[in-house]
Structure 1
């Protein structure tokens, strides 16, 4: 039976067990998870936080993380300003990034979500308004 671990990855933590290539040590999954043989199915950027699934089942890990399976993943994202209809439509069509075009996404504006306390707090800037979107992608 596959082992699944649901981990609320904190801000500032790498979605991997080791950190290579930087002179200063950065927090990794090994600072929080001491279970041999499990690996993340997907990743969140170091400056992102939220649910990360870890498993010891390689086939399940590939199904979750490989773009060929088109498994939807939903993110709540704080963005600067208020995205207009054209910006949301572009995400729905797919946008071109440095490494190529993305698949079309599902996106909608949402109100500020109820989140856990965070250190550092979610950004607040008096002179730059922000808003939240819910974004579902089917990339890897």
Structure 2
């Protein structure tokens, strides 16, 4: 059997699964976008998050990229409410405690300008009196809603969350709802990362 490796730009309000959900029977799933049989997501993105997903039928690779023991970098662009202080960024870098769990250290920095992302539909809430800031966070773990809980723990709630990269694979050249196969070179680099 030939292995397949796909990159997908998951739009906002889409479930990270192919089957419909009893909790959200009208929500779109991956099935509405990806007509490739027998591939499965490596990890998840929440319904209210956007960004890069990797799908494959390579079970061994899927396991190594999903298992927390084999942490691999994932970079998120996060729009937060307010203007985080250097102290708050330092807390994120060192790890914060959320729900009784201490997160691993991560990379955290302000983006120098708004990232080149398409507008979200529906748009995030806008408050004229409260500024927003875009951050880049690179984590090597991925617990449920972790990025949102981390930014909230340091006092800056997440408004928009986009996974920009998995390792060195990025959303570049993809629009929400689009997918493509990995090139042979990207496949080699992905296997090396795992």
Superposed displacement of residue 99, structure 1:
5.6
| Structure 1: gaps spanning 5 or more residues | none
Cα distance in 1 between the residues matched to 2:18 and 2:100: 25
Superposed displacement of residue 33, structure 1:
1.5
Please give the residue correspondences for 1:16-35 in structure 2 after superposition, counting only pairs within 5 Å: 16-22=17-23, 24-35=25-36
Matching residue of 2:131: 129
Distance 1:109 1:97, change over 3 A: same
Q: CA-to-partner distance for each residue in 1:17-47, whole Å, 9 max, x for gaps?
A: 1233416421111121122210111111111
Matching residue of 2:119: 117
Cα distance in 1 between the residues matched to 2:37 and 2:25: 25
SS at match of 1:8: strand
TM score, norm. by length of structure 2: 0.67
Deviates more, 1:19-28 or 1:43-52: 19-28
Matching residue of 2:189: none
Distance 1:99 1:8, change over 3 A: farther
Runs of 4+ aligned structure 1 residues displaced above 4 Å come to none
Q: Which has the higher contact order (CA 8 A, sep 6+)?
A: 2
Cα distance in 2 between the residues matched to 1:116 and 1:66: 31
| Structure 2: gaps spanning 5 or more residues | 143-194
Aligned length: 140
Q: Would you say the 8 A contact 1:63–1:71 is kept in 2?
A: no
Deviates more, 1:124-133 or 1:16-25: 16-25
Q: CA-to-partner distance for each residue in 1:40-97, whole Å, 9 max, x for gaps?
A: 1111111111111100001111222221111010000000001111111111111111
